[in-house]
Structure 1
Amino acid sequence: MRNYSGVGNTLTLTAPYDVASGGGALIGATFGVSKLALKAGQRGPFEVTGAYDLPKDNAAVAEGVRAYWDNANKVVTATANGNTPVGVFTAARSAGAATANVRLNGSF
């Protein structure tokens, strides 16, 4: 098959803002976790599937709840309104916890 271009777990995308290695970024409608530290406008590898510990908002979250990316604050949240779906929380986290584990849904 000549049109196959890869598995699609890692995509080379342009960072919309400075992103640390392991940091999340919303690139258009695609959310990914950067494999490298990238400057705004720099192209690099982003993981779009897998499970990652990401910074989260101050609210409590339950296991299995949908996770959304709050692009203004650069955190994951359970709040859908105004945010982009990225996956599901893999474990409950209390209010005030700094991070949460999210399994990304590469189909978003």
Structure 2
Amino acid sequence: MAKNFIQTGETLTVIAPYDVLSGAGVLVGKLFGIAQIDAKSGEEVEITRRGVFEHAKTSGQAWTQGADIYWDDAGKVFTTASSSNTLVAKAALAAANPSAIGRVVLNG
């Protein structure tokens, strides 16, 4: 291991930009992850930046496996809509329209 190595970066401590619950998406600048604990805005929270997660999605969208998935920070859901959203994942599985939950693999 290089002497300047700090950590793998799969889990990272960030300052919560808003109140979050464990399992919720968290976007800090361009860093995205899933909260591991509940945290109030301004508190430290650990986020997981890699892995496969089930999470709320835009219900009125059909997803194909491998599709680019974006984080809609205003709606706090995953979406295939790129406009004003941040690319954070790929669709791990296809998802029907309508469906409230999608499975994603984070880009981390």
Aligned residue number for residue 39 of structure 1 = 40
Tell me how many residue pairs correspond in the alignment: 106
- Residue deviations 1:12-65, cap 9 Å, x none? 001111111011011111111000011111102100011111110021111110
Which residues in structure 2 correspond to 1:68-107 (within 5 Å)? 68-106=70-108
Aligned residue number for residue 16 of structure 2 = 15
Which residues in structure 2 correspond to 1:42-61 (within 5 Å)? 42-58=43-59, 59-61=61-63
Please, what is the CA RMSD of the aligned residues?
0.9
Task: Tell me the distance in 2 between the aligned counterparts of 1:83 and 1:73.
Answer: 10
Task: Tell me the distance in 2 between the aligned counterparts of 1:84 and 1:98.
Answer: 19
Aligned-partner residue type, residue 22 of structure 1: G
TM value normalised by structure 1: 0.94
Give identity over the alignment, percent.
Answer: 37
- What residue ranges of structure 2 are gaps of 5+ in the alignment? none
Aligned-partner residue type, residue 88 of structure 2: V
TM value normalised by structure 2: 0.94
Task: Tell me the distance in 1 between the aligned counterparts of 2:16 and 2:4.
Answer: 26
